[in-house]
Amino acid sequence: MCDGGIMSSPKMWTAVFAGGIHVEAPSAQQQTLWARIKVQFRRVGNMFDRADKRIGKSTFGRIFRLEGSGHPKEVSGATFFKEVRAGFTTFATMAYIIAVNAIILSQTGGTCPCDQDDRLSCDSIDSYKQCKERVRLDLITATAAISGLSSFLFGFMTNLPVALAFAKSSPFVDETQRGDEGGEDAFHFVAYSSIGGKLYELDGLQPAPISHGDCTPDEFPVKISGILSDRVATYASSEIRFNVLAMVRDPRIAAAEIGDQETIARESEKRRQWQWENALRRHNFVGFAGEVMKGVVGEKVKAGNGAYEAWIKEGLERRKRDEDATRLRRRMGGGDGDEEMIG
């Protein structure tokens, strides 16, 4: 009896049976169907290419310096639909801030009146909760409107692929600058670990580890559940400052036990990449790169005799040659060239 079927490629159909795997060649009808699909994809791609060329030669294309616009500073490879795809990708990457920004700010209560000394206690009042919801909706509208307007103006006036929106404020506080007020909290981690048969709580704001009694590694899941439940119960139901994270065993340990060299290599490569990313976070090279660019541009301008314009032209020509070489390699190694259309 057949459990299911999948098409792994246009040249092979694989049907999975209860008794094993059966591979059969595609029928003539299936080959014809796949050929028609490829033709339709190619037609759609050609249609978009023609539209890109028409738009590039229009006034719109010249304003945004699209490829083929004839503008002295046209951007090689920039087409209308490519920029549209990039815009949707950027929006999908940043759209979360519309909801997150509103949720975080509305949790403060905004302009909602509260007569209680502890503002969190007002969360049990229906009128206060309704006011917070109105604040949240207003913030969603304001975030979307301001982000859209600023991104449009930035793109139109600078012709740079930049999207602007509100950013979440940093929750981290310098412990050395933390005041003595009891209500002022610093963002920090609290870890629980079974060490030497004891369950310890490691709190960055405490002078020493806190022992929660005897605990073996096998008992850890049960005991930590009770401790976390008690910790969560000390906060109000609307509290968002306490979050539970989980730490798992290093996959390299289990892989070494069974001799899985592929997993060990993959996980080791991940950690090398993490070290590189952390190094970049510790050292902000944006200012340095900016100063280098300003120095280079200043030297070119100071040289005179069109040295700056020649330098820019040389860079654009080099980029154009690299892009042409990349397209040629894809065309030669990718068969009929559908890859560029699909991508």
pLDDT digits (tens, 9 = 90+) for 66-123: 888 888 888 888 888 888 888 888 888 888 888 888 888 888 888 888 887 777 778 8
Which two tokens mark 43?
């037609």
Taking Cα atoms as reference points, which of 39, 6, 42, 41 lies closest to residue 23?
6
Task: Output the pLDDT for position 292.
Answer: 84
E-strand stretches of 26-170: none
Rounded Cα gap, residues 203 and 185, in angstroms: 13
Task: Output the pLDDT for position 341.
Answer: 39
> What pTM, to 2 d.p., does this model score?
0.39
* pLDDT reading at 13 higher than 50: no
First to last CA, the chain: 39
Residue with the bigger pLDDT between 20 and 313: it is 313
Rounded Cα gap, residues 230 and 153, in angstroms: 51
Give one word for 97, left, alpha or beta, with left for phi > 0 and alpha for psi -120 to 50. Answer: alpha
Q: Among the ranges 90-99, 204-213, 299-308, 321-330, which has the highest mean pLDDT value?
A: 321-330
Q: Residues 238-290: pLDDT tens digits? A: 666 666 666 667 888 888 889 889 999 999 999 898 888 877 777 767 777 88
Average pLDDT value for residue range 136-142: 90
Q: Residues 213-229: pLDDT tens digits? A: 898 888 888 888 888 88
Residue 52 burial by Cβ neighbours in a 10 Å radius (0-12, 13-18, 19+): buried
Q: Residues 156-190: pLDDT tens digits? A: 888 777 777 666 554 444 444 444 444 445 566 78
Measured in degrees and rounded to the nearest 5, phi and psi for residue 10 equal -65, -15
What is the band of 143 on the pLDDT scale with cuts at 50, 70, 90? confident
* pLDDT reading at 10 higher than 50: no
Task: Output the pLDDT for position 90.
Answer: 83
Domain ranges of the chain: 30-158, 284-329
Task: Output the pLDDT for position 1.
Answer: 40
Q: Give the whole-number percent of the chain exceeding pLDDT 70.
A: 78
Place of tokens 């009146």: 113
Residue with the bigger pLDDT between 206 and 295: it is 295
Residue with the bigger pLDDT between 35 and 237: it is 35
* pLDDT reading at 154 higher than 70: yes
**What is the number of alpha carbons within 13 Å of residue 41 lying toward its C-beta?**
14
Mean pLDDT, the chain, integer: 77
DSSP assignment of 57-96: HSHHHHHTT-TTS--TTPPTT--HHHHHHHHHHHHHHHTH
How many CB atoms within 10 Å of residue 67? 19
Pairing of strands 210-214, 190-195: unpaired
